[in-house]
Structures are given as structure tokens and as C-alpha cells.
């Protein structure tokens, strides 16, 4: 990655963060040394970017700082178009409309050469008969995740056993053609993945939940990462 590109990406990275980010974290994210990050941050500050930092705490950027218009290259445009197509084909109509709306806004910012690149796209997502239908509202599930709203639902497991669950919905994860609802299950007092096509009677409860470290999405993802690392280690040992 060229330095100019890295500087731009550092600004984007800091704007996405809700807390201070250390040089070590940035160095790992951009695969450079902390010393390089120190120089990059100083170059950005010297150029007028409102970044502040404190030793041992990290860097933050003024969220009111406006970036110049985003520029995409041909591969980035193709990746965005492919992602829009996959959202359109593998979610629901409401989310597909949002994806198409976002794509139109992106198109409106493109230069003439980039508009031309859109006509050269050669990767597509097509509708598939392998898509497994579900009874619940995909959009409603997303809203419950965003609003941190507890839900009650009936779940039919792979052994055809039906149980009633109260869960904290954390994320929707695609394992094409299956969608999983990652949750904290209050019945099992542990994280569980529920297949969307096996959920019925999905009911919002008038209860919000707050992030608790042991029941959060971050902890869920960390546990998944640990399981994957253990599986890779086992594969290497066989």
C-alpha cells in the first residue's frame, strides 16, 4: 500500500472507531511498524487533520472532520457491485431496496471513467433455487439486533425438537444458503446459533438489553475465532 493511500485509510479507520486507537493496533491493521504509524500520524497532523493523541492511550480524530470525496478504483467498484447483488439475492426485499439505494448514491459520486468501469463488470450474483426460505421477517430481526431488543421465539432444532427460547439477538451471519442468528440464549446461558429457517413465532419483547462483556457480540466473535484457531491447530497436528 502506497503511503498516500495508507494515510487516507488511517483517517477512515480512526473515524470508524469510538475510542482511542494505539499505534500498535494501527500498525497491526496496516501491517507496518509502530514507528511508521508515528510518522504517518505526524504527517496527517502537520497536514491539518484534527488528530489528537496521548502516550499510552492512543489516537482519536475529530468526528466533525470532513474527508474529501471518496475515490474508488475498478476492483473496488466491482466488489461493491457484487456485494449489492448478493444482498439483493440473499436477504429480503426491504434490505435489497436499501442496498440498491446505497449503490445509486455511490454511482452519483463516480467520475465518467468509473461509470464506464461499471459496464465492464464481469462478476455477478444471481438468484439461486438453493436459497432456503424462512418465516420470520429478516428486516425485523435486523431491527431487534440494532435496537438491542430481547425476543422470544420457537426453535425447531436439527433433531426436530421444538423449544421456546428467549434470546439477545447479536448478529445475522450468512453460511450460504443458510442464515444464522447469533444470540445469547437465556435458556442455555450461553451463545447459540439459530438457523433462520427453523425459527417461528418470532416475538419482540418490550425489554432492551445492555452490552455485558460475557454476553456481547465481541465475546461471541472472540470465541468463534478461538474455536477456528483450535481447529486449524488440530488439522496441522493430523
CA angle 76, 101, 78 (to 5 degrees): 20
Residues 6+ apart with CB under 8 A from 139: 92, 94, 95
Instruction: Tell me what pLDDT residue 177 has.
Output: 87
- Residue 19 burial (CB < 10 Å; 0-12/13-18/19+)? exposed
How far is 167 from 151, CA to CA, in rounded Å?
6
Distance CA 50, CA 61 (A): 6
Kindly state the cell numbers that stand for 117: 468501469
Q: What are phi and psi of 130, to 5 degrees?
A: -80, -10
Could you read off the pLDDT of 73-87 as tens digits, one per residue? 888 888 999 999 999
Q: How far apart are CA 223 and CA 8, in angstroms?
A: 32
> What number of CA atoms fall less than 13 Å from residue 105's CA on the CB side?
9
Contact yes or no for 121/78 (Cβ under 8 A): yes
Ranges of the chain whose pLDDT falls below 50: none
pLDDT value at position 124? 86
What pLDDT is recorded for position 55? Answer: 62
Can you give the pLDDT at residue 230? 86
One-character DSSP codes across 121-182: --------TTPPP-SS-HHHHHHHHHHTEEEEEEEE-TT--EEEEEEEEEEEEEETTEEEEE
pLDDT of residue 67: 62
List pLDDT tens digits, range 136-166: 999 999 999 999 999 999 999 999 999 999 9
CATH class of 3-61: mainly alpha
Amino acid at each position: 500500500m502506497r503511503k498516500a493511500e495508507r494515510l487516507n485509510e488511517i483517517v477512515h479507520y480512526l473515524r470508524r472507531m469510538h475510542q482511542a486507537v494505539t499505534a500498535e493496533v494501527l500498525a497491526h491493521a496496516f501491517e507496518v511498524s509502530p514507528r511508521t504509524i508515528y510518522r504517518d500520524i505526524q504527517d496527517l497532523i502537520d497536514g491539518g487533520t484534527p488528530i489528537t493523541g496521548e502516550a499510552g492511550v492512543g489516537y482519536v480524530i475529530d468526528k466533525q472532520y470532513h474527508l474529501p470525496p471518496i475515490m474508488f478504483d475498478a476492483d473496488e467498484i466491482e466488489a461493491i457491485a457484487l456485494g449489492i447483488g448478493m444482498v439483493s439475492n440473499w436477504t429480503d426485499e426491504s434490505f435489497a431496496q436499501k442496498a440498491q439505494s446505497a449503490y445509486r448514491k455511490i454511482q452519483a459520486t463516480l467520475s465518467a471513467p468509473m461509470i464506464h468501469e461499471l459496464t465492464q463488470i464481469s462478476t455477478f450474483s444471481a438468484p439461486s433455487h438453493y436459497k432456503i426460505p424462512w418465516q420470520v421477517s429478516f428486516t425485523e430481526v435486523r431491527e431487534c439486533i440494532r435496537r438491542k431488543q430481547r425476543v422470544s421465539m420457537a426453535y425447531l432444532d436439527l433433531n426436530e425438537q421444538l423449544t421456546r427460547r428467549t434470546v439477545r439477538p447479536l448478529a445475522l451471519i450468512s453460511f450460504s444458503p443458510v442464515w444464522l442468528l447469533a444470540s445469547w440464549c437465556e435458556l442455555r446461558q450461553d451463545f447459540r446459533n439459530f438457523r433462520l429457517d427453523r425459527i417461528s413465532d418470532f416475538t419482540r419483547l418490550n425489554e432492551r438489553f445492555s452490552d455485558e462483556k460475557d454476553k456481547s457480540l465481541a465475546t461471541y466473535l472472540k470465541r468463534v475465532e478461538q474455536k477456528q484457531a483450535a481447529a486449524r491447530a488440530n488439522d496441522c497436528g493430523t
